[in-house]
Every structure is written in structure tokens, then in C-alpha cells.
A and B are shown apart, each in its own frame.
Chain A
């Protein structure tokens, strides 16, 4: 079945540092890929997405490129802020046991300090 693997956290960075959160996936066919973000005490919300190979999703300074050859969708941001502190989830949309649905990674907590 489909699966998503993310780097474990927490990731702790200083403000204005460069961020990379690794995500790799296993899926049949051609899934769509997503990054969701969960701020403290809130539900998940979509951050960015990519629907086909070589697509780059971007939003709020974050970006990720759909790499089919390496089955990866790493999240990057050039300069993080304290307000970016949250849990980030990589996810894919595709067919798996029981039908088409979103499969989430376990999440990576990001802490940004002054």
C-alpha cells in the first residue's frame, strides 16, 4: 500500500535559518503530493501541493518539488520565522487498500527560536 516517510523531529532552528524537512513516499501509479501544517491547538491546513512529476508547490515562502525519480517531496524555506513553529505533515493522494484517500506521514515538529 501507499506510505509516506518523514524525517523525525523535533527540528530546532534559529530565526532566519534555512529549513529542509525530508519526505519520501511509496505509491502505485501517479499520486499527488501535499504538505499540511498544524499550528498548536489547531487542525491541519493545506500548505502546498504538487500534482505531477517536476511540479513545484509553493506558499508563504515554503516550497517543495515533486521528484519522481527519487520518490521525494522535501519541504524547504529559505528563512524561517518564529511563527513557522508548527508540525508539518507530508501526504499523498492515491489509491490504496479501501480506495483513494490521503495517506499522511507521522509529522515533523519544527521549533524556531529567536
Chain B
């Protein structure tokens, strides 16, 4: 079975450019999460969706970041305009269990490594 699929795996862009990261969750999973990983801050939850609806976006750093989930099999994380401090690995994860269910397990994609010059 296919896991969580993210694209691109690597992105190098210049400051000010728009960046779009993509995620396809595991089929049947109705929760989708976007995380950012940096050396300084570790793994941070940016936003999560349930049945395509954003539930908690309190981790989105600022208005330059936006996320959408137009259908159950696709989500995007957009940064516009990008800045060097946005350089990080961005992970998408999905699960079929609500986060509050104690046995819930997240399935992570391989990540998108973003470098903003």
C-alpha cells in the first residue's frame, strides 16, 4: 500500500518566491497534519485537517503561510513570499484515528526539504 506521498522532495528557491508543497494522504485517512522540522525548534505542528476542514491552525507561523485541503486525497502548504528562515523540512502525516484517541498513530511522508536563499 502506498504511504503518505509528498512532493517535491527538495526545493531550492530565492527569497520572495512562492513555494507550494503537496501531500497525498493514505487513502481512508480522514486526518491530515502538516509539521515543520528545524534544528532549532524541532518538530512543530503547523495545522491539521479533519475531513478536509482545518481544525487547528494555531501553529501556522504567520500570514505568509496557508494550507488547503480541497479533497480527501490532496493538500497543499503554500508560503508566499518565502524567507530564508522558512528553510526547513516540512512533513505531512495522516491518520484514521482522532488525535484524542490514545492509540492513534500518525503515518508520515518522507518530507519536503525547503531551502530559501
Contacts and interface: CB of A to CB of B under 8 A. Distances in A.
B91 interface: yes
Interface string B76-106: 0000000000000001010000111011111
A64 B104 CA distance: 18
Q: Is the interface of B mostly helix, strand, loop or mixed?
A: loop
Sorting the interface of chain B by its residue count into under 10, 10 to 19, 20 to 34 or 35 or more gives 20 to 34
A106 interface: yes
B12 interface: no
- Interface of A (DSSP majority class): strand
Interface of A: 31-32, 34, 41-46, 49, 51, 89, 93, 95, 97-102, 104-107
Given A46-B106, A99-B99, 8 more contacts: A32-B104, A34-B105, A42-B110, A44-B43, A49-B105, A93-B99, A101-B48, A105-B42
